[in-house]
Structure 1
Amino acid sequence: MFKKTFTTIDRFFKHLEEWSLFLTVCIALFTAMANVILRKATSDLSLYWSDEVVRKVIFFSTYMGCVAAIRHRSLIRIDALPQMFPALKRPLTLLSNISILIFSAVMVYLGWSMTTMMYGDEYARTATLQIPEYLFYAILPLTGAMMFLRTAINICDDWSAASTRGRD
């Protein structure tokens, strides 16, 4: 039962991660390119808001990239010790997963607090585009929850792989 649910969540998150990263990076790339072309081709035209768009895309892609890194098991971790001492692989992987779970839970809590704080402030808007800041702060609890679920899926995959090896 859990396997089917986790597979569905995994598939949904994978599409969300890949397409949102693709679209936001394309937006930043085209905005920055258009701004550079306008500045070089003309002397007086410039997209004054392009820097803000690129900054917000970097903010988004950093956190969504963390979720994708968890899927690929590519987050920073101690990997020299398990290579020298294979018996440490499972405990260090468990420690790494627990650390991610704690970090993502804190990220959800603090991100939600900051999002609601920004939502209550009617003047909290981006400098040039005047987009409400709470929309950007909402990325924190969203990606924190995704990180938590991705890590839980990885833990379950590790346990099922270990139990399968135990039966052999």
Structure 2
Amino acid sequence: MGLEQETEMTREETDALLGRNETGVLALARDDDPYAIPISYGYDADARRFYMRLVSTPESEKSRFLSGTPDVRLVVYEEDAQTYRSAVVTGTLEPIARDELTPEHVEQYGETKRPLFEIWGQSRKDLDIQLYVLRPTTISGRRTELQPDGDD
């Protein structure tokens, strides 16, 4: 069994992690009630902004948590045989109205990974499909590497 060594990732390493992974877990809270969902996103490393397309119904729990401009936390992670990497992003999630979309927004949303199929309990016309931008307050990344202990 090896030892673990944890280090903070550089901005470039963190941006690379966020750029090559297009999915994560988005956490929101209202009062003391947490809500977390898996999401897909597009990431603009130059502007350090995230773009998301979130789908809900007007009466859903997700809609309640998305009302206004909530503070959020996005967690993205990956692992391979010897290394675990994660990034934690805090910031504000802001809806973008369709009439405010710019060509740059459309390009970013085009980069956002979508599921190969979508299953909803309601018909598509009853769904609220909203585009959001996550403007980070903080972005941090950590890497944990398993170091061989030499007893092999």
Between Structure 1 and Structure 2, the one with more strand by share is 2
TM-score for the superposition, normalised by structure 2: 0.23
* Structure with more relative contact order (C-alpha pairs < 8 Å, separation 6 or more): 2
TM-score for the superposition, normalised by structure 1: 0.21
Between Structure 1 and Structure 2, the one with more helix by share is 1
